[in-house]
Structure 1
Amino acid sequence: MAVNVETLEKLERKITLTLPVETIQNEVDARLRKLARTVRMDGFRPGKVPMSIVAQQYGHSVQYEVMNDKVGEAFFTAANEAELRVAGQPTITEKEGAPEGQVSFDAVFEVFPEVKIGDLTSAEIEKVSADVTDEAIDRTIDILRKQRRSFAQRAKDAAAEESDRVTVDFAGKIDGEAFDGGKAEDFQFVVGEGQMLKEFEEAVRGMKLGESKTFPLAFPEDYHGKDVADKTADFMVTIKKLEAAHLPEVNEQLAKSLGVKDGTVEALRNDIRNNLAREVKNRVVSRNKQAVMDALAAKAELDLPKASVQAELNRMVDNMRADLKARGMKDVDKLPIPEDNFRPQAERRVRLGLVLAELVKAQSLQAKPEQIRAQVEEMAASYEKPDEVVRYYYADNSRLADVEAMVLENNVTDYVLGQAKVTDKTLGFDELMGEQPA
């Protein structure tokens, strides 16, 4: 039977569904008879409750269930016959004026859009690469040494300098009045590591054990303490303890303490190089993938299904609530979270999802089993027991699906880079990692 599909606007469609009342009633009766075999009511043995009472008690809810089921079946049958790709759930309302013995409904819904991907050979993409340098390895070793440093009391006449650990008493006032958080005793921090505001560290530098100093400190406008932000306080600080940092030597003992099997400095450096190389590769892949996605989004023409965007918004808001709960925030479910804050990101995700699906289908870029296996093994290689990690992924279809999605995106990235006008750019290690050299 031909299905009449009415176009309302862009992706919105309408189908009128007509069902025989007799078909609905027969299904209601059948479900009530089945229910009567197990229903329990006071004064009746199980299975002996009269049908009239069962219908009176449960007829309305069964009628509602049957109507939903039959209308849903009719809708998806009609949508399949019309070869429509339905986005989201339809809004179904009963329609007046149905022929005698029938009931009619209007189903309003959206369809997935036609996705037009422009000429990818005209897309310009900057493809980055980066290497692990000896300097990066040296800085990583320095970080590991700092994590294992010790502190020893400095001479009484020594002055506080960079990397010293100081123990201080301090008290601050604004306009002569003390304020919350402005006073502490036996407070400890390491000079030069940014634990304190710059003016505070500068005041402490050069001070000696037992010395006191008064100095002004201007809190920045964006300071987390709103009561003192953009205000100037007068602080008095006293040095109670002054300790110099001692870093462990770069030797076999350090290598062994870091779990290096061979216990040599060379093996330590190789371990660090391998770990940094994995991190560099991940960041390079992520950055190039982002450039490809930006190019695809710019080359694609499509309308976004409102239902898909709303579903993505709902998911993002739910994730935000779950994250806030995990952080210990109470009454999160009552907290208003404006959807519009997430809308641009939700629309981008939906757009890219549709574009990727179209490109994968058109160019047969689906993730192959051997690609998925290789990706899992690569991810497992950095663990102490790789075989257990591989089994972990293959034991859960949802975890494996995440890896499949990763491989699929890699396939798309490789394909687009093979089509586009690519400019190669080598980044410094620090630039890639988003850090500045020390």
Structure 2
Amino acid sequence: MKKCMKLLAVGAAAASLATSCGSQSSGGAYDEYLTLAEYKGIPVTRIKSEVTDEAVQEEIDYVIDDNAEYNEITDRGCQEGDLVNIDFTGTIDGEEFDGGSGEDYEIVLGEGYFLEDLEAEIVGMTTGETKEITITFPEDYDEELGGQEAVFSVTVNTIYEIVRPEYNDAFVSSISDFSTTEEYEEDLRQTLLEQADESNDYTAGYDALYSVIDASTFSGYPQELYDECEQEYDDMNAMYAEMFGMDVEDFEMSDEDTQAAIEEMVYEEMVVRTIAEREDLEPSDEDFNAYVDTLYEDYGYESAEDFLADYSEESIRDELLLTNVMNFLLENAEITEVSEDEYYGDIYEEEETDELMEEELIDETDGIIDLEDETGSLDPRDETDLIEEVPDDSTEELPAETETDAAGTEGNAADTETGAAEENLTEES
């Protein structure tokens, strides 16, 4: 079982607050189905928490962008660095194509939201101007559009000059409790380190949990538990589809893969509940209340009561129980710390090995075996890229560059309109 599949819980943590399966069962209920592997003293690889100067600068840039002023421009054409609001319609052979049109999109010129050739033709346009722009998609763009000629009708609705504040002691004093940039950056670095620790602990904890799951033996499971997890699986797909402005059908896999994904949820539930019962890890009421107090502000609620109106107590207790089990496994594990590059390098090597094995199997069987491309799956328990933020109101798609750094551009006003635009018309690098 691949690490990247195990890491998905980091991205799906919020989703699990809204859904749960098997929460009425105790660990003892699974004894006839489960031979639990040793879960103390297991080897676990954890990413060493580090904060680079680049990470600090990215946060500073975000804060600067977040405090920028946007002055409407009417006496000149747009230029690189301007924020422009546009409508656009793309056609190939006179027919519109999926993801090639949008209205009231805001992009910052020069930051790679559009294909380079298309964006270059927008520079210089004035408010109210409409322009027909012909481009040719790169050959390696994608299977459907690569090498094809497209015509985009682009209308500039509004142009804004972005005036960013100067980063100095006065600016820091105006946005924080610190009086100097040095104090501000020291606190920022500490905050980033704490966030990294939390994220890396969660990742390592989930790796530890799945190490136990992989080593355990399952002789079956209660049908009721499977049915509950199947419902959770369907609910998560529906939630992700709504979040990303997609159809639920876009998440569908083969019946075999769907069953495997649900069974993985079932096995996780069985192992978590069994360890929790053996080690007395069930969260107390005090634990629950303290946990909710840490959550509701992070989720944008005014009070714990408002938060609990949208998220069930049962599902929150399930999430807290999972956290308790993962923390217990980490506290009792043999931990080896590695760099982020080393950790994810191992994952990539595993993926490449799996792909090579699939290719060899297909070659040996003359292509008789139909092996589905796992990277094309949108199972919410399979894809780590679902943690990427996509605005709820972004329903159109926009030509964008694949390698736009979401973290580095989070503060730009354009991001609120372009989050969903990277799916179909990204420029391959």
Band the TM-score falls in, shorter-chain normalisation: 0.5 to 0.7
In structure 2, the residue matched to 1:216 is: 135
User: Which of 130, 136, 144 matches 2:49?
Assistant: 130
2:149 pairs with 1:232: yes
Contact 1:200 1:217 (C-alpha < 8 Å) held by counterparts: no
Contact 2:28 2:274 (C-alpha < 8 Å) held by counterparts: no
Describe how 1:145-156 pairs up with structure 2 within 5 A.
Answer: 145-149=64-68, 150-151=70-71
Contact 1:203 1:215 (C-alpha < 8 Å) held by counterparts: no
In structure 2, the residue matched to 1:408 is: 321
* CA deviations over 1:147-176 (Å, ceiling 9, x no partner): 3433575996x9944x2345779786644x
TM-score where L is the length of structure 1: 0.53
2:104 pairs with 1:196: no
In structure 1, the residue matched to 2:265 is: 349
CA distance in 1, matches of 2:47, 2:261: 24
Q: Aligned partner of 1:216: which letter?
A: I
Q: Aligned partner of 1:127: which letter?
A: R
CA distance in 2, matches of 1:345, 1:309: 11
In structure 1, the residue matched to 2:162 is: 245
Contact 2:84 2:159 (C-alpha < 8 Å) held by counterparts: yes
TM-score where L is the length of structure 2: 0.53
Long gaps (5+) in structure 2: 1-26, 345-383, 389-404, 409-429
Instruction: Report the Cα offset of residue 363 of structure 1.
Output: 3.1
Identity of aligned residues (%): 18
Q: Aligned partner of 1:408: which letter?
A: L
Contact 1:151 1:165 (C-alpha < 8 Å) held by counterparts: no
* RMSD, matched Cα: 5.3
CA distance in 2, matches of 1:183, 1:322: 25
* CA deviations over 1:329-358 (Å, ceiling 9, x no partner): 99x9xxx99865632222111111111222
Instruction: Report the Cα offset of residue 287 of structure 1.
Output: 0.7
Contact 1:304 1:350 (C-alpha < 8 Å) held by counterparts: no
Instruction: Report the Cα offset of residue 305 of structure 1.
Output: 1.8
In structure 1, the residue matched to 2:276 is: 360
Q: Aligned partner of 2:44: which letter?
A: I
Secondary structure of 2:46 counterpart: strand
Q: Aligned partner of 2:137: which letter?
A: A
Change (3 A) 1:337 1:315: farther
Larger Cα Rg: Structure 1 or Structure 2? 1
Instruction: Report the Cα offset of residue 241 of structure 1.
Output: 8.4
Change (3 A) 1:350 1:291: same
Using the TM superposition, name which of 405-414 and 182-191 deviates more: 182-191
CA distance in 2, matches of 1:263, 1:294: 46
Secondary structure of 1:195 counterpart: coil
Instruction: Report the Cα offset of residue 404 of structure 1.
Output: 4.0
2:82 pairs with 1:164: yes
Q: Aligned partner of 1:344: which letter?
A: A
Change (3 A) 1:316 1:265: same
Q: Aligned partner of 1:245: which letter?
A: I
In structure 2, the residue matched to 1:422 is: 335
CA distance in 1, matches of 2:153, 2:263: 53
User: Which of 293, 297, 316 matches 2:209?
Assistant: 293
Change (3 A) 1:203 1:401: same
* CA deviations over 1:361-413 (Å, ceiling 9, x no partner): 33333335555455445546879999x54x778x88x8555454344333322
Contact 2:46 2:201 (C-alpha < 8 Å) held by counterparts: no
Change (3 A) 1:370 1:425: farther
* CA deviations over 1:211-231 (Å, ceiling 9, x no partner): 98965321788879x8x6763
Describe how 1:303-382 pairs up with structure 2 within 5 A.
Answer: 303-305=219-221, 307=223, 308-321=225-238, 342-368=258-284, 371-372=287-288, 374-379=290-295
* CA deviations over 1:251-286 (Å, ceiling 9, x no partner): 46645764x356765675466456545543442232
In structure 1, the residue matched to 2:16 is: none
Using the TM superposition, name which of 293-302 and 144-153 deviates more: 144-153
Secondary structure of 2:275 counterpart: helix
Q: Aligned partner of 2:66: which letter?
A: Q
Contact 2:48 2:200 (C-alpha < 8 Å) held by counterparts: yes
Q: Aligned partner of 1:359: which letter?
A: I
* CA deviations over 1:311-337 (Å, ceiling 9, x no partner): 31133224545666799999x9xxx99
Instruction: Report the Cα offset of residue 304 of structure 1.
Output: 2.6
Instruction: Report the Cα offset of residue 200 of structure 1.
Output: 1.4
Q: Aligned partner of 2:64: which letter?
A: R
Long gaps (5+) in structure 1: 1-84, 88-110
* CA deviations over 1:91-112 (Å, ceiling 9, x no partner): xxxxxxxxxxxxxxxxxxxx86
Contact 1:116 1:300 (C-alpha < 8 Å) held by counterparts: yes
The structure with the largest strand share of the pair is: 1
Structure ranking higher on relative contact order (CA contacts 8 Å, 6+ apart): 2
Contact 1:160 1:242 (C-alpha < 8 Å) held by counterparts: no
